[in-house]
Structure 1
Amino acid sequence: MTWLKEIIGSEKTIIAMCHFQPLPGDPSYNKDKGMEYVVEMARKDLWALQRGGVDAVMFSNEFSLPYLTKVEPETVAAMARIIGELMSEIEIPFGVNVLWDGKLSLDLAAATGAKFVREIFTGTYASDFGIWDTNVGETVRHQHHIGAEKVKLLFNILPEAAKYIADRDIEEIAKSTVFNNRPDALCVSGLTAGAKTDLQILKKVKNIVPETVVLANTGVTIDNLEEQLSIADGAVVGTAFKYEGKFENHVDQKRVEAFMKKAKAFRS
């Protein structure tokens, strides 16, 4: 039994993304509608996901485009306000992801009681956002410093819109990441949000670290969920739950219900 069963309540877990609208400081933030609008849109998506039957939810500033690799304090402050206002309505385990800042993701988790965080904790990359460096030792020490040692760390080892500066094989990356850092899970992604996770890469990662939780991180749909979950221990799902399967849209409860019906049938 993995920690997914203990913390979230199921194996072959489906973690749904609740994408926040642009926040104060983001180029696309709607100053006229303000934070009340952002909170209400998050509430709408949260309820559609919960009523649709997902196992857990992860709150993320997905529309803070273009992303920063060192996030400004107003972003995490806004995210804390949203989660705080929704706290009494959250009925399932939740995690957080402050794109792309591991320390602030942990700060937000500590402040809100999130059970897990997903982030780029290791590696150095050439990305759409410039040279992207990390310091996992510093980040994990920060985790313990703020009392967040029980928060599960989901390591995204194939970051979207980025490539390792060193030419490293994915099996080598997975094995050394697990050996050096003891992640709670490895997340395997496609090129962008909504892009299908490569089955062969997913299989290589799971085979090389069979005792570690491996999640399909992007592009899992109702049509491919069985083949993805036949390898992965679970999936992080965002775009597939939205109206017309489009990244920029809100969550469609009927799509969530249909997806979860198939997922639950598969794991039973």
Structure 2
Amino acid sequence: MQLPDVFNIRKPVIGMLHVPALPGSPQNKLDFNAIIDWVLRDAEALAGGGADGLMIENFGDVPFYPRRVPPHTVAFMTALGRELRRRFDVPLGVNVLRNDSASALAIAAAVNAAFIRVNIHTGARLTDQGLIQGTAHQTLRYRKLLGCDVKIFADVDVKHSAPLASRELRDEVEEVVSRCCADAIIVTGSASGRQTALEDLRTAKGAAGGAPVFAGSGLDLMNVAAVLEVADGLIVGTAFKQADVITNPVASERVHAFMEAVRNLRHQ
């Protein structure tokens, strides 16, 4: 995949839409209309502030299902995705936590989203949901079955998890791209909001065979210049939130300031 296949700008910034707990989830407090309003307000702040793409994620649905989510989650996420596609003319991505790539693909195909994120595309990881194994073989075949061109953005050494055995990051990146057919790579810190190591980004870039490499956590105004020197794009969540609290609404002034810095860096 080349970045122009999805984005019309170099070094794109994807803003996260962390969906509050959906109906049926243990932490749910809002009815679905209120959730739609919340997500649309965040999307307006992101798109209005200059973000180059959006990604919707059922962040509030803790504790997450390790694999398949129930049908109502797919229905709610599809409805949200449809509203976003109707209102915002930027590429949309879908992530269904913790690792439901099939539902993410189905949602993306239904709403004409551009990409999905898969936290564990290949291999196996120990997580707070237990042992999760990648299902690249199923994900790629399901995409073929759907006949869609939704791109697969795959994490490597994904946050909030640990490997079963020690493994070189370079080897994992090479396999995710060459043997498991990921279209782009995401590198993160150990948890949401924690900085992505520059050395990990360099390693991933060297092993990705030309596939785009995104930094997926811990971005802010202090480190964005250094990260953008290496990464092909950014996924930003916490830095756009009020008071740097991931569950808070998006603060439009933070988006504007961050994107102004990115625009200046693009022209250097």
The TM tier, using the shorter chain, reads over 0.9
Instruction: Please show how residues 1-268 of structure 1 align to structure 2 within 5 Å.
Output: 3-30=2-29, 33-70=30-67, 71-99=69-97, 100-119=99-118, 120-148=120-148, 150-268=149-267
The code of the aligned residue for 2:55 comes to M
Total equivalences in the alignment: 264
The code of the aligned residue for 2:163 comes to Y
Distance apart, 1:57 and its partner CA:
0.6
CA contact (8 A) 2:15 2:53 kept: yes
CA contact (8 A) 2:185 2:208 kept: no
Distance apart, 1:210 and its partner CA:
4.6
CA deviation profile, 1:204-244 (whole Å, cap 9, x unmatched): 11122251110001111111111111111001111110111
CA contact (8 A) 2:174 2:209 kept: no
Structure 1, unaligned runs of 5 or more? none
CA contact (8 A) 2:18 2:247 kept: no
CA contact (8 A) 2:16 2:56 kept: yes
Tell me the SS of whatever aligns to 2:179: helix
Q: CA RMSD for the aligned pairs?
A: 1.3
CA distance in 2, matches of 1:81, 1:177: 31
CA distance in 2, matches of 1:160, 1:127: 9
Tell me the SS of whatever aligns to 1:54: coil
Distance apart, 1:105 and its partner CA:
0.7
4+ runs of 1 displaced by more than 4 Å?
Answer: none
CA contact (8 A) 2:121 2:176 kept: no
CA distance in 1, matches of 2:34, 2:164: 40
TM score, norm. by length of structure 2 = 0.95
Structure 2, unaligned runs of 5 or more? none
The code of the aligned residue for 1:12 comes to K
Distance apart, 1:10 and its partner CA:
0.9
Tell me the SS of whatever aligns to 2:76: helix
CA distance in 1, matches of 2:209, 2:227: 16
CA deviation profile, 1:16-47 (whole Å, cap 9, x unmatched): 111111002211111xx410110000011010
Distance apart, 1:202 and its partner CA:
1.1
CA contact (8 A) 2:85 2:92 kept: no
CA distance in 2, matches of 1:231, 1:86: 30
CA contact (8 A) 1:158 1:187 kept: no
Q: Percent identity?
A: 32
Pair 208,85 (structure 1): closer, same or farther in 2 beyond 3 Å: closer
